[in-house]
């Protein structure tokens, strides 16, 4: 059993972390106009006010309602509006309908946040949290995941507006690796993958530490740049089926894609939308907003390949990463022994284990403290709006 | 040529009418939250801020830019954003994309209105309007049409929100006809249809006064009520294909429709969304938000029929109308001699002359002064969100 | 009551007509390969074997089963397979699924025809037909309608095959009108429209003879030719929105249409598929396979217009017609007093009275004896696969 | 260099194998009616005549045209019609359009086969095949793959016909494993996966023998039966989202699936379509025609899991297999060092390496001689029409 001092230390740590995380969600949105909070230009993008409400609903539903005895729900209908994919907890708003809801207003959502935050602070400072640590950790990490999605979705909303608005968004500073760095070589052998220190926070999909056998390989020390990618475009990469997976070639032909998301060709020059507005494409920047099909096609065109997620994890401590999520040549599948937890929280990750690809690392949109070597991100192979880039196995280790 | 006094009278009349119409558009929106201005829950519905911007763009594009020598455009991109269906005037925003645009903001749109209004007032008070009267009349009537659409669209936006918000919307008072009134009988013969006094404002589709031969008929003096319509529902009207046009039956089966738009069955009782929130269906009210398929099916079930638009126009001065637009058993087709005007304004009405049905009369959402016996409204036969109702030919005149 | 001689005359007339009609259906298909009977390349087109089966099912279901006491059904499942749109008579095969059914085979269908024909001949020669005359007439005309559709559908099936097969199809010879003929002038006044001699066979939609008031007009004596239509194409007709209805312009942009159906541009020349294979477009032939949007756009481009169906009917006896169905500037709506008959046969025409346009006249694909001045054909305005052409009001009578 | 005797032995072996394979394709179709060869009831299913033509086109295009000097193409247009997914070799018929083509006829296709077979036999008996062995092996295996698809597609065509036809189809006899057999245990360690003896025929996706590290596991000795699967159905398996992947649950809700493909509930009993017609579901038979979502949901419901493809391959020589393809808990991804061959033949397998799942083993529809431990079959996770079943890891080795 915990001593009083230990118990208080946990409480104050959680209260401080809760405050920091909650504040950061609102800081991301500080530059938005009210209207920017509301729209949903495509099914994958959620309105920012929905993210702010949904993360609040998580605390209300999974922490306050079951564990804070005197807690009274803020508004009966918000559970319906702000549920996401949790089938266990009643009927959810169809994902593509979120952008149709003008109410609750943005002000209502901020009132909801303030109400829940007040109750959460009281709860975190007074309750016995010894049995709730992992739940609170999950809530904090859940909100951080939505912080990253907020950045994606705000960029999509503004980047698809003909006025290309400028906005201040807090991104995470990343230390760049020198372009002179050498490939990171890993020798053949058996390696252990997955979370080993299970006391640290991690998602269920990282559990099940297990051995894998890897052939020797070398990873390129830096990410593919816009300049590299322009070579692919200029060499007719989007016009030649040979480089593409069948699904990828169908995607090119259906969408008439000819560049990463947010790129525009204006009178012969490539520009791209950034939070600073429409800017010339910088050839030195790592390429961003490519989907798996593009990453794979680029690799084939170069005669190289992407790393598998196991290779990436094994080499991770020698790689400079964090600018872009790196597409792995690995489908998102369970680790040995993976099982889903009971209840709504158990719906977290396992249900997405088909037709998605793994991304490893982190990006400038990832909140500080929300990345680790074992973290498994995943998106469908046609998605571009996440901050995803390309790292290749070097030709030494093809 | 006009005398100075006549010219000033025209000017002050237009200036006063302009002010009244423009103020009314904003009065309709006075109760909205910022978020309500932004969303587009279905392709037919436009965001309220779009209506406010589009009507302003009309004045800027068709009056100020060509006729006010010193006028400078408010913002280059607004023409792109606020054009509607005018193919002549450059590339328009795809109708279904309007709800994706968080910018220009609502405040921007009101600034745009203020800027154009200031220029319009100066223009209307000083310019020689003698050659522009019909254009200004068109602009005023165009904005009134959008005022009616604003009411429809606001109702749709709020009526599809799970919170069913209450809002104050200025509707047009209507004098009700006594339920004791007798059918309106019209005898067989030749009648003239269409605008005869072409000096009064009218749309191009009302021109071409022409003779039609009508058989004798009688029109019911009052509209079908919710109570009447409930009889149809309770008699299995939505389950029996015999009452329905083939397209209507397909619509029923695709949409699973079982009542007018905005009706909800809650624990055995019928409720409907109104601007006062969710209310019990009032059996004495005229039924509203039925589409042509429903109106036609109801008439067949009763063994009666709808009036044609020519019958309606002939009987109009003896009918009490204005609560609901009345579906006519008439497709929307040109009158003899109809031609489209040159230029963008010529795109007004003629291009819609296929696969739409005529509605006659007016509704509580029609702005005062924007109705007349010859007015031809039209919607596709599956549309429900306009304020449409049902009047039948009485059994005497089947 | 009929004398024996009269009764026998009716019988032998019906028996002879039945034989002639049934034989003609099979004559149309005589040149087909078995495979041609089976496919359904688009939802509007039915497999030829379906037409042969469906017309047979009509005789079995509406004549033999209710009226021939000893008749035994050929196969229980055929009713399911060969029902078309008759909601009254059980569950029908979804229209777009017809082309998925390899069974019953073509040989099965011909066996079904032979079986029903044998029973029908016995029935027509022996039964008292005095109360069944209109039903048998309807059956004969129903089969003739499907004969015309058979020609359309066979053309579509073969005309969309990359091998462009040649096939012998019996078409109806048409006497051409001299190109020197003068416009047909009709003077202003009241005219009667619809079937007046109701003893002659006609469909329910032609009933309700009624007066209409027409302005004076003149109809062009001949149909628009391919040569005329090429002028429209070469003048950029398909690229200029001004000529098109809004729905028509959407159709052009969605389908990328740039010519009538079956036209192909091969190395700068226009060819079209005919039953003789791919042939150069003959500028002297009347244009065929245009939809309402194209007919209407062509007329606007010429500064003329289509006739209304009432104008057409009034002028019909002075027009040379029968090469192409002529699009009327008239939506397909009921005549005064129109009601649907009780039972399945009552589903015949009335249910299609929304969003369709009228065509008048006949075409080379119309069976001999299946046309008259009052005949109302109808198709949706985007359909091209029927043998439809264009006649304009002459500029004298615009 | 080969001796004359060796060279003749190769020739006679290839000639005999060619004859056997080609004959088997036609034997599968021997019971079809002409009409059965033509239809394409869904995009995944190809008309049988297309399979017969496409496999013939393969020999013509890749063997005869480049290697038989005097060969003259059978028909210029067949290349267009019978190409499948080979982007390298010109424009192909859109996959969903195949069922619209009534020509070439079935008789034409058999003439094509006879023509190509005559040339192939002359070629195989006379040419120097020493450099073509792998190409001819690929052609034979390619045709065997289409033989299996022929069985799937014929079953789909007839199984979706309301007459449920009976047909004789040659299936491959399979030796059943005793139900008393014990789980197959594999101990922890490093195992080699993929083709090691590269002289034997194999596809490119099996190459790249490589080591994997496996935890200990046991595989169930027999496949899940219909009886087992009925328990899942009866326990509400299709109604409970907890058992399903998110994509799977969306599939259930979109398709209203409630049983494997071809199962029908008739008055409380389950029947399924087989080549013997509609038959009662046999509880002792291994379940068939389940997709990955169903296999995965069934496993979760049982608290077990599917084998990975590596586990399956390691245990394969102790498993009785061949009745049903077995869904693996493995996405279809490349083995280390995988590269695609140059030219059209290189399009074979690699392009499908996204969003598909692996199946291992073989089925009664797999041609004799076309299976091995290293064979990697793959389908999208929603597909049911292949002969796929379920094997679980036993609870000892969860």
Burial class from Cβ neighbours inside 10 Å (0-12, 13-18, 19+) for residue D187 reads exposed
Residues of A in contact with B165 (CB under 8 A): 103
Answer whether C78's CB lies under 8 Å from C104's CB: yes
Residues of D in contact with C165 (CB under 8 A): 103
pLDDT digits 0-9 by tens, C105-162: 999 999 999 999 999 999 999 999 989 999 999 999 999 999 999 999 999 999 999 9
Question: Could C334 and B336 be called an inter-chain contact, meaning their C-beta atoms sit closer than 8 Å?
Answer: no
| Gyration radius of chain A over CA positions | 22
Given a cut of 80, whether residue D181 has pLDDT beyond it is yes
Structure tokens, D363: 């089925």
Nearest CA in chain D to A192: D213
pLDDT digits 0-9 by tens, A118-162: 999 999 999 999 899 999 999 999 999 999 999 999 999 999 998
Question: Could B100 and A35 be called an inter-chain contact, meaning their C-beta atoms sit closer than 8 Å?
Answer: no
Question: Could D35 and C35 be called an inter-chain contact, meaning their C-beta atoms sit closer than 8 Å?
Answer: yes
- Identity of the residue in B87, B332, B354 whose CB atom sits nearest the CB atom of C381: B354
Answer whether B316's CB lies under 8 Å from B338's CB: no
pLDDT digits 0-9 by tens, D208-265: 999 999 999 999 999 999 999 999 999 999 999 999 999 999 999 999 999 999 999 9
Given a cut of 60, whether residue C396 has pLDDT beyond it is no
What pLDDT sits at residue B339?
85
Interatomic CA distance for residues D48 and D157, integer angstroms: 10
A202: phi then psi, degrees, rounded to nearest 5: -165, 160
pLDDT digits 0-9 by tens, C235-292: 999 999 999 999 999 999 999 999 999 999 999 999 999 999 999 999 999 999 999 9
pLDDT digits 0-9 by tens, C324-374: 999 999 999 999 999 877 766 666 788 999 999 999 999 999 999 999 999
- Identity of the residue in A296, A330, A355 whose CB atom sits nearest the CB atom of D355: A355
Query: What are the residue ranges of helices labelled H in chain A?
Result: 4-28, 48-59, 65-67, 78-82, 106-126, 133-159, 226-234, 246-255, 292-302, 309-315
What pLDDT sits at residue B198?
86
Interatomic CA distance for residues B366 and B323, integer angstroms: 9
Residues of C in contact with D101 (CB under 8 A): 39, 161-162
ipTM of this model?
A: 0.95
Question: Could C246 and B352 be called an inter-chain contact, meaning their C-beta atoms sit closer than 8 Å?
Answer: yes
Which residue carries 């097969």 as its tokens? C165
In three-state secondary structure terms, A225 is strand
pLDDT tier, D309 (very low <50, low <70, confident <90, very high otherwise): very high
What pLDDT sits at residue D95?
66
The verdict on whether omega for the bond into residue A32 sits within 30 degrees of 0, i.e. cis, is no
Q: Using the CB atoms, write b or e for A129-163: b if 16+ within 10 Å.
A: beebeeebebbbbbbbbbbbbbbbbbbbbbbbbeb
- Pick the residue with more confidence: C9 or B247? B247
Answer whether B46's CB lies under 8 Å from B71's CB: no
What pLDDT sits at residue C181?
84
Residues of D in contact with A86 (CB under 8 A): none
Residues 6+ apart with CB under 8 A from B132: B63, B67
What pLDDT sits at residue C398?
43
What is the nearest CA distance from D96 to chain A, expressed in angstroms? 14
pLDDT digits 0-9 by tens, D327-348: 999 999 999 999 877 766 666 7
pLDDT tier, C98 (very low <50, low <70, confident <90, very high otherwise): confident
Residues of D in contact with C100 (CB under 8 A): 39-41, 99, 157, 160-161
What is the nearest CA distance from C29 to chain D, expressed in angstroms? 14
CB pairs under 8 A between A and D: 75
What is the nearest CA distance from D394 to chain A, expressed in angstroms? 13
Nearest CA in chain C to B305: C337
pTM value?
0.95
Answer whether C90's CB lies under 8 Å from C26's CB: no
Nearest CA in chain D to A353: D245
Question: Could C247 and B354 be called an inter-chain contact, meaning their C-beta atoms sit closer than 8 Å?
Answer: yes
Interface of A with D (CB under 8 A): 85, 87-88, 190, 210-213, 215, 241-242, 244-249, 292-293, 296, 329-331, 333-334, 336-337, 351-355, 357, 381, 398
Query: Which of C162, C211, C213, C161 has the alpha carbon at shortest distance from C186?
Result: C213
What pLDDT sits at residue C51?
97
Q: Of B29, B33, B35, which to mutate for an interface test with A (greatest number of A Cβ within 10 Å)? A: B35
Whether chains D and A touch (3+ CB pairs under 8 A) is answered by yes
Answer whether C309's CB lies under 8 Å from C376's CB: yes
Interatomic CA distance for residues D296 and D392, integer angstroms: 10
What is the nearest CA distance from A35 to chain B, expressed in angstroms? 5
- Identity of the residue in C296, C355, C381 whose CB atom sits nearest the CB atom of B247: C355
Interatomic CA distance for residues A362 and A368, integer angstroms: 10
Given a cut of 60, whether residue D398 has pLDDT beyond it is no
Residues of D in contact with C106 (CB under 8 A): 34-35
What pLDDT sits at residue D179?
61
Run of H or E residues at C232:
helix C226-234
What is the nearest CA distance from A101 to chain B, expressed in angstroms? 6
pLDDT digits 0-9 by tens, D27-39: 999 999 999 999 9
pLDDT digits 0-9 by tens, C298-331: 999 999 999 999 999 999 999 988 999 999 999 9
> Mean pLDDT by 10-residue block, N- to C-terminus, for chain B (398 residues)?
77 93 98 97 95 97 96 92 70 72 97 98 94 94 98 97 95 74 95 94 95 97 97 98 95 96 94 96 97 98 97 95 96 93 71 96 96 97 98 76
Residues 6+ apart with CB under 8 A from B86: B92, B344, B347
Q: What is the β-pairing status of strands D325-331 and D277-280?
A: unpaired
Region C182-205: what's the mean pLDDT?
Answer: 95
Interatomic CA distance for residues A105 and A102, integer angstroms: 6
- Identity of the residue in B81, B99, B161 whose CB atom sits nearest the CB atom of A39: B99
Answer whether A392's CB lies under 8 Å from A306's CB: yes
What is the nearest CA distance from D348 to chain C, expressed in angstroms? 26
Structure tokens, C376: 């109302």
What is the nearest CA distance from D36 to chain C, expressed in angstroms? 5
What is the nearest CA distance from C10 to chain B, expressed in angstroms? 34
What pLDDT sits at residue A179?
60
CB pairs under 8 A between C and D: 93
pLDDT digits 0-9 by tens, A269-304: 999 999 999 999 999 999 999 999 999 999 999 999
Nearest CA in chain A to D245: A351
What pLDDT sits at residue B398?
43
What pLDDT sits at residue A398?
43
Nearest CA in chain C to D41: C100
What pLDDT sits at residue A397?
43
Interface of B with A (CB under 8 A): 33-41, 77, 80-81, 93, 97, 99-106, 157-158, 160-163, 165
What pLDDT sits at residue C337?
92
């Amino acid at each position: 059993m915990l001593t009083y001092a230990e118990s208080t230390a946990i409480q104050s740590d959680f209260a401080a972390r809760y405050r920091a995380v909650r504040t950061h969600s609102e800081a991301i949105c500080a530059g938005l106009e009210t209207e920017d909070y509301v729209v949903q230009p495509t099914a994958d993008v959620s309105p920012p006010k929905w993210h702010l409400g949904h993360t609040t609903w998580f605390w209300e539903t999974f922490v306050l309602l079951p564990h804070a005895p005197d807690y009274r729900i803020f508004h009966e209908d918000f559970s319906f509006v702000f549920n996401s994919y949790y089938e266990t907890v009643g009927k959810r708003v169809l994902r593509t309908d979120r952008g149709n809801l003008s109410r609750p207003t943005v002000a209502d959502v901020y009132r909801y946040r303030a109400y829940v935050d007040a109750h959460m602070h009281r709860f975190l400072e007074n309750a016995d949290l010894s049995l709730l640590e992992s739940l609170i950790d999950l809530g904090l990490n859940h909100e951080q995941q939505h912080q990253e999605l907020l950045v994606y979705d705000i960029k999509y909303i503004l980047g698809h507006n003909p006025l290309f608005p400028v906005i201040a968004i807090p991104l995470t500073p990343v230390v760049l690796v020198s372009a002179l760095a050498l490939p990171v070589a890993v020798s053949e052998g058996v390696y252990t993958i997955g979370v080993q220190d299970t006391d640290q926070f991690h998602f269920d999909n990282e559990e099940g530490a297990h051995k894998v056998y890897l052939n020797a390989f070398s990873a390129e020390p830096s990410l593919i740049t816009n300049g590299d990618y322009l070579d692919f475009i200029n060499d007719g990469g989007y016009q030649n089926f040979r480089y593409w997976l069948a699904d990828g070639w169908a995607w090119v032909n259906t969408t008439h894609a000819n560049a990463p998301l947010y790129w525009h060709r204006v009178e012969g020059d490539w520009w791209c939308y950034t939070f600073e507005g429409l800017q010339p494409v910088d050839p030195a920047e790592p390429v961003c907003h490519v989907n798996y099909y593009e990453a794979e096609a680029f690799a084939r065109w170069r005669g190289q390949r992407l790393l598998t997620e196991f290779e990436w994890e094994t080499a991770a401590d020698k790689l400079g990463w964090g600018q872009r999520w790196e597409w792995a040549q690995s489908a998102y599948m369970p680790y040995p022994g993976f099982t889903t937890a009971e209840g709504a929280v158990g719906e977290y990750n396992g249900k997405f284990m088909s037709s998605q690809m793994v991304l490893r690392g982190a990006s400038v949109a990832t909140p500080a403290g929300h990345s680790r070597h074992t973290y498994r991100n995943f998106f469908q192979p046609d998605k571009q709006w996440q901050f995803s880039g390309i790292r290749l196995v070097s030709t030494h280790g093809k």
